[in-house]
Amino acid sequence: MRVSRLLFVLAVLLAHAARGDPLQHEFLLLPSAVVVGTYDRQSPETQIYDQVVQADALLTLQKGPFKLFGEYLLSDHEGDLERFQLGWQMSSDTVVWIGRYHQPTSVWNHDHHHGQYLQTSITRPWIDEWEDLRGALPQHFTGVLIESAHEVFGNWRLRTAAGGGVAPKLTNDGMEAFDLVHPDSTRRMGYQARASLHPDEFDETGFGILVAADALAADGLTIPGGVGLDHVDLQLYGAFGAYAGESWKLTGTVYHAEAQLHYPQAASRGDSFWVGYVEAEQRFARDFTGFARYEQSAGVADSPYLRLFEQFARTRYVGGVRWDFLEHEALTLQLTNSHMLNGHFSDVRLQWSAALF
Amino acid sequence: MERSAVLTMRRAVLLLLLLFGAPWGSAGSQSVVLVVRTDSPVTDLDSVTVRKLFLGLPVLINGRPLHPIRNRADALLDQIFLQEIVAMSQTAYDRQTLTGLNRQGWLRPSEVDSGDAALGKVLADANAVTFVWQRDLAAHNEQVRVIRVLWSD
């Protein structure tokens, strides 16, 4: 049975268990449109769509402590059920999900997901890029995710998230996440955990650590040199922090990755690298927000794992300004200078984004 | 800095509404109260929990989530909601609830435009929680229970 159908059946059964509670729903549409121009192209790999029109739709159905939550992204380049989760709100502070989720060790993606309106910059850090946009880390898993929060050290809050599920696989077109609508069985498992401390219940300011152990099956993948690949064991360790003031916001994350590439002949090769970013945002008068982000890496030049992702940006400079010109509508202008593993290029982007509900 | 200015402006607007805008302004003290149905499992909610509830965060009693109803009967009640209950501007409130929906599928509080409608929702749902002017309770004293006073002039 397809996972999506299984979740629907479970949702119906659980709704019966919550009889007496009203069925509630929430719908949010996050449309956006962006145009991109590239210049100073000194890289063979600048595969950027020059325009993207997309709509990210979120739907929650809740009955008692059970909820069905979905996110569908439709654009002029793709249509994908990004998240589809059946949740049980165990207590005010703990929710258990089963289904397809965004893995919690990507702080950026776990905070912003696919909706463009809710992130200040147009692009996300390259290390947190989605699989179908040549991202180097797995982002979508299908399994179980538990999110929780607890009071510690007085009023401080410890927020945790832990997940485990079917991992994306490596193909000649990049990484491919498990598809709920068209499932396959040639995959391995991955596990992730994140913990962070915050001064109080509502504060975005905080700091934390993350760890992941993912096994990525290779499906017909031939690496440079004509050698086949069986699978990759990818371990990720990291730390992150955020300061959210009244007009300033600072965020930063650093990842240390250890990859072990396994070949069919039972040989294997390991490598490790560091990637991190820091972003600053400042709100100005008249609903303008300026932002700048610096992305940097180390040990990536000879990484056999990152050679699977030719578009990986070893260094990137991002800057721009966002103008919330109407309630729930924004225009964003962004300049980017990307240094890839084999060249560099720059681009300028203009985006309109909105939240409709 | 910007948020402080917004909150200062809100306090000024609140004061002006109290002095000139509300027709009942000179008719004696008035209060905004948090109410539930008489048979509700809710016995007490502290201010932090009330804030969580109206920001859309899950608040469960006996394993069942509470359902917040935002009463938008008049401008003064809106100001009291933003200043005293959720402690943020309308823009920040919108962003907070959208973020919660995006991250964890949290439901935003449902909204009604009168005290009668708010009380009607509470009477229909034992897990519903709303806030109304105390004077709106006159016809419902036997059916609802006041949990706490949120604001009084």
Interface of A with B in 112-141 (CB under 8 A): 112-113, 115, 118
B48 touches chain A (CB under 8 A): yes
For the segment B35-39, the average pLDDT, to the nearest whole number, is: 94
Q: What is the pLDDT of residue A45?
A: 65
The shortest CB-CB distance from B64 to any of A65, A202, A285 is to A65
Selected residue of B48, B102, B127 to mutate for chain A interface (largest A Cβ count, 10 A):
B102
Q: Which residue has the tokens 């939550």?
A: A69
Mutate to test the interface with B, among A100, A246, A323 (most CBs of B within 10 A): A246
The pLDDT value recorded for residue A343 is 87
Give percent of chain A above pLDDT 70: 92
Instruction: Give residues with Cβ within 8 angstroms of A339, minimum separation 6.
Output: A313, A314, A315, A316
pLDDT at B19 over 70: no
pLDDT of residue B153: 83
Note the pLDDT of residue A246: 86
C-alpha closest to that of B71 among B114, B34, B109: B114
- Out of A26, A112, A285, closest to residue B101 by CB: A26
Question: pLDDT at position B1, please?
Answer: 40
A-chain CB neighbours of B102 within 8 Å are 28, 30, 58, 112-113, 115, 118
Nearest CA in chain B to A22: B125
Tell how strand B60-61 and strand B64-65 pair up: antiparallel
Q: What is the pLDDT of residues B83-125, one digit of tens each?
A: 999 999 998 899 899 999 999 999 999 999 999 999 999 999 9
For chain B, what is the mean pLDDT?
85
From CA B32, how far away is CA B135, in angstroms rounded?
9
pLDDT score, position B11: 60
Range of the domain at A137: 3-354
When pLDDT is cut at 50, 70 and 90, the band that residue B2 belongs to is very low
**Residue-level pLDDT at B13:** 58
Q: What was the pLDDT predicted at B25?
A: 41
> What is the pLDDT at residue A224?
66
Q: What secondary structure does DSSP assign to A193-227, as a single string?
A: EEEEEESSTT---EEEEEEEEEEEEBSS-EETTTE
Asked whether the beta carbons of A128 and A134 are under 8 A apart, the reply is no
Q: What is the pLDDT of residue A219?
A: 87
B105 touches chain A (CB under 8 A): yes
Would you give the DSSP letter of residue A167? P
Residue with tokens 């965060």: B57
CB B42 within 8 A of CB B147: yes
**Which residue from A minimizes the CA distance to B51?**
A202
Q: What angle do CA A167, A168, A174 make, to 5 degrees?
A: 160
Per-residue pLDDT band for B26 (boundaries 50, 70, 90) equals very low
For chain A, the domain total comes to 1
pLDDT at A133: 86
Q: Partners of A313 in the beta sheet?
A: A340
> Does B72 touch chain A if contact means CB atoms closer than 8 Å?
no
Query: How many whole angstroms separate alpha carbon B88 and alpha carbon A89?
Result: 26
DSSP letter (8 states) at residue A301:
T
pLDDT at position A2 is 61
- Order the strands of the B144-152 sheet from edge to edge: B110-112, B67-71, B128-133, B31-37, B144-152
Contacts of A199 (CB under 8 A, 6+ apart): A155, A156, A157, A205, A206
Kindly report which listed range (A59-68, A218-227, B100-109) carries the lowest average pLDDT score. A218-227
The pLDDT, as a whole number, for residue B9 is 60
Task: Indicate the pairing of strand B110-112 with strand B67-71.
Answer: parallel
- Specify the higher pLDDT residue, B52 or A6: B52
pLDDT at A7 over 70: no
The pLDDT value recorded for residue A46 is 63
Name the DSSP class of A241.
Answer: E
Q: Is A245 in a helix, a strand, or coil? A: coil
Contact map slice: B 119-138 vs A, CB within 8 A: 125, 127
Contact B64 A87 (CB under 8 A): no
By DSSP bridging, strand A79-91 and strand A94-102 are antiparallel
Confidence check: pLDDT of B24 > 70 = no
**How sure is the predictor about B14, in pLDDT bands with cuts at 50, 70 and 90?**
low
> What was the pLDDT predicted at A8?
66
pLDDT-derived band at A132 (thresholds 50, 70, 90) equals confident
CATH number at residue A228: 2.40.160.10
The pLDDT of residue A163 is: 97
Please tell me the predicted confidence (pLDDT) of residue B28.
53
Answer whether A92 sits within 8 Å of B58, measured CB to CB.
Answer: yes
Q: b/e for B126-136, b at 16 or more Cβ within 10 A? A: bbbbbbbbeeb
Interface of A with B in 279-318 (CB under 8 A): 283, 285
Cβ contacts below 8 Å, chain A against chain B, sum to 80
Q: Who among B1, B48, B60 is closest to A89 (CB)? A: B60
pLDDT band at A222 (very low <50, low <70, confident <90, very high): confident
| Higher-confidence position of B110 and A342 | B110
**What does the pLDDT average to over A271-299?**
96
Contacts of residue A112 in chain B, CB cutoff 8 Å?
Answer: 102
Q: How far is CA A39 from CA A7, A335, B58, in A?
A: 46, 11, 48
pTM of the model: 0.88
